[in-house]
């Protein structure tokens, strides 16, 4: 049991959500000094305005506030350096990260094994499941309905002599690589559009509404009949360039590819080859191996690629949803129960 807890708000957060935390947990002391936090440029701008600079006295107050806390709402400065600093100089036992992919920040902080055992970091996985699933469906529809070609014709004010038929989403086969929370929500929306759904999961088990669930060994067989392939996997050493030339070769011609997981999961050179040889008819990409996407990347100008600047998870409801997640997990922390969505200290996802 954890009593007399102190929580410090380490990242920009609207006062209304701070109040919701206080109201839900009146026995918890919440430290919140908004003047020490960079202003948001848009809803759920967790890093805040990069032009914001704390004075030396403000910076000292900021770190002193965090060091007095048992729990942090947000990784300090939304950076691995901030995480490493607070981990080395405080009693903090749990940090709620804003990102669903917070494992990469935890790994980059290069914390000692004993620190990773003592300090729990939870991510916001699941909070972003619905917006990511909606974006995945946008990618599928764009690919099936040839919207990139329509946009090009519109920009050229060209009414084509030959109107190319579009494809029906209903009745098509979607393969989701990674049936975690994001994958399950994507599967739900895909089924609502009449799609047949299969996918992969580390632990193979039946999932309602999913025709076939397999591990990675069974993925090539699924890809052979897929009309669209949607990646939701996180970036880990085990998933690095997992979707490579071999897996693209297992797909049939005309496959629509969507990536809402992590960019490092995809071999981008192999993706470009698959786009050129017709294996991939359209790619909708929210994430990339290097972000921001380098200006020299051919993905920027490819006529059948949508480049999204890693924004598909962002919604105006995000801060509220993360605060609600934190409130629930805080009750578990007080009771000494396992925290939900804790970042794996070995595999970092």
Q: Tens of pLDDT along 183-227?
A: 999 999 999 999 999 999 999 999 999 999 999 999 999 999 999
CATH 3.40.50.720 fits 129-307, yes or no: yes
What is the CATH class of 6-126+315-335? alpha beta
What's the predicted TM-score (pTM) here?
0.89
Query: Do 6-126+315-335 and 129-307 come out as alike in CATH topology?
Result: yes
Per-residue model confidence as pLDDT tens digits over 30-60: 999 999 999 999 999 999 999 999 999 999 9
79-86 CB contacts, 8 Å cutoff, 24+ apart: 79/105, 80/105, 80/106, 80/108, 80/109, 80/110, 81/109, 82/10, 83/109, 83/111, 83/121, 84/109, 84/110, 84/111
Rounded Cα distance between 121 and 341, Å, is 8
Rounded Cα distance between 7 and 95, Å, is 10
Written as one string, the DSSP assignment of 185-242 is HHHHHHHHTT-EEEEE-SS----TT-SEEE-GGGHHHHHTT-SEEEE-----TTTTT-
* Contact in structure between 48 and 12 (CB atoms under 8 Å): yes
Q: What is the pLDDT of residue 84?
A: 97
Which residues have a catalytic role annotated? 262, 310
Per-residue model confidence as pLDDT tens digits over 122-147: 999 889 999 999 999 999 999 999 99
Using the structure block, give the residue that is written with the tokens 């067989």.
221
Per-domain residue ranges of the chain: 6-126+315-335, 129-307
Joined tokens for residue 122: 């939870």
Q: Is the pLDDT of residue 101 over 90?
A: no
């Amino acid at each position: 049991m954890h009593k007399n807890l102190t929580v410090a708000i380490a990242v920009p957060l609207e006062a209304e959500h701070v109040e919701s935390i206080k109201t839900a947990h009146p026995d918890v002391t919440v430290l919140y000094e908004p003047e020490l936090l960079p202003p948001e440029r848009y809803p759920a701008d967790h890093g805040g305005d990069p032009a914001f600079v704390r004075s030396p006295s403000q910076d000292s107050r900021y770190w002193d506030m965090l060091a007095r806390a048992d729990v942090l709402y947000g990784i300090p400065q939304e950076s691995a350096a901030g995480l490493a600093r607070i981990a080395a100089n405080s009693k903090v036992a749990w940090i709620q990260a804003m990102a669903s992919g917070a494992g990469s920040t935890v790994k980059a902080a290069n914390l000692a094994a004993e620190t990773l055992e003592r300090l729990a970091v939870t991510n916001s996985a699941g909070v972003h499941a619905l917006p990511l699933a909606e974006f995945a469906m946008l990618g599928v529809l764009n690919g099936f309905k040839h919207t990139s070609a329509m946009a090009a014709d519109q920009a050229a004010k060209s009414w084509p002599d030959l109107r190319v038929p579009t494809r029906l989403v209903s009745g098509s086969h979607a393969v989701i690589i990674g049936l975690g929370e994001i994958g399950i929500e994507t599967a739900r929306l895909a089924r609502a559009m009449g799609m047949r759904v299969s996918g992969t999961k580390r632990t193979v088990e039946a999932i309602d509404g999913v025709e076939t669930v397999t591990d990675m060994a069974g993925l090539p067989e699924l890809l052979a009949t897929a009309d669209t392939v949607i990646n939701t996997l996180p970036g880990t050493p085990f998933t690095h360039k997992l979707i490579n030339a071999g897996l693209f070769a297992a797909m049939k011609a005309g496959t629509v590819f969507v990536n809402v997981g992590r960019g490092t999961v995809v071999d981008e050179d192999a993706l470009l080859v698959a786009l050129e040889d017709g294996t991939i008819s359209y790619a909708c990409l929210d994430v990339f191996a290097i972000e921001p996407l380098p200006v020299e990347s051919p993905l920027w100008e490819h006529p059948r690629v949508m480049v999204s600047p890693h924004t598909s998870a962002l919604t105006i409801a995000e801060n509220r949803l993360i605060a609600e997640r934190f409130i629930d997990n805080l009750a578990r922390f007080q009771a000494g129960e396992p925290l939900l969505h804790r970042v794996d200290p070995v595999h970092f996802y």
